[in-house]
Amino acid sequence: MAKTLLFDALREATDEEMALDSTVLVIGEDVGHYGGSYKVTKGLHAKYGDLRVLDTPIAENSFTGMAIGAAMTGLRPIVEGMNMSFLLLAFNQISNNAGMLRYTSGGNFTIPIVIRGPGGVGRQLGAEHSQRLEAYFQAIPGLKIIACSTPYNAKGLLKAAIRDNNPVIFFEHVLLYNLQQDIPESDYVLPLDKAEIVREGTDVTILTYSRMRHHVVQAVDVLVQEGYNPEIIDLISLKPLDMHTISKSIRKTNRVIIVEECMKTAGIGAELIALINENVFDYLDNPVVRLSSQDIPTPYNGSLEKATVIHPQQIQQAVRDLIKLEA
């Protein structure tokens, strides 16, 4: 085991897969000589050269389209978005090309592409750099969507995504890059379609992902001291959602709280509620509680920015209120 920062875990995964497979390459703005905006590709250009670590102009639609074309010809590109918000400029390429071509070609093409980069609400990054795009992409058929949350799962999931023959949107949270954890020095790969049970419990199922995993863990540390016993599930896979793990937990606890940084309207939580109602409605003792970000562009002002997202104290109170209803 070695203590590793999350951005280093992502860099290790990329390096190991590039060494293993000569068809793997990295494309994006400042990924080469500069080493990436958050140093995820640091040192890779010196090791693999211009053709495999390609610096591009500031033109997300162009280099994403180029990467999709490269994937069609047998390469395995990793596209780094300097900020995932910028990939809205490549929405047409991701939806009409990456998501569709395997199907519209009758299976003649596979699209083994990973589109990854930082997103989420940072610290005073402004509205355009603080968007959560997971719900935007969730509606696109043909994509897989991953949200990593720890150095351990970041490395194992990115390796799996690179090896997958389908397009994978890989979300990293901008405030988790310096998160440190012991991870194995040996090679490992994690499944792309499985949620993680972070903590087993009996009182309530808390569904979360990305940075909110850590807010939930912090909240539950306090709740356990008060006598509550929540179960925490990190979704990890946002498409497809691991309804087997989710449903099994709900059948045990009979209560659900969803904690997300995504917008409340048409967010990941909204899709989760629909699936829970379709699959395990009869096991619910109460309506599902949804804690989501405010439906507003994220303010630049630090205090206002903080007020738009969910914090541990709100999670604690939601658990108390929900279980109090059963008393």
Catalytic residues: 60, 129
d(CA 11, CA 42): 7
Q: What is the 3-state secondary structure (H, E, C) of the chain?
A: CEEEEHHHHHHHHHHHHHHHCCCEEEEECCCCCCCCCCCCCCCHHHHHCCCCEEECCCCHHHHHHHHHHHHHCCCEEEEECCCHHHHHHHHHHHHHHHCCHHHHCCCCCCCCCEEEEEECCCCCCCHHHCCCCHHHHHCCCCCEEEECCCHHHHHHHHHHHHHCCCCEEEEEECCCCCCEEEECCCCCCCCCCCCEEEECCCCCEEEECCCHHHHHHHHHHHHHHCCCCCEEEECCEEECCCHHHHHHHHHHHCCEEEEEEEECCCCHHHHHHHHHHHHHHHHCCCCCEEEEECCCCCCCCHHHHHHHCCCHHHHHHHHHHHHHCCC
**Angstrom distance (rounded) from CA 179 to CA 185:** 17
Tokens of 227: 């006598």
Residue type for position 2: A
Task: Supply the angle between the helices 268-280 and 243-253 in degrees, to the nearest 10.
Answer: 70
Q: In the beta sheet, which residues pair with residue 183?
A: 2
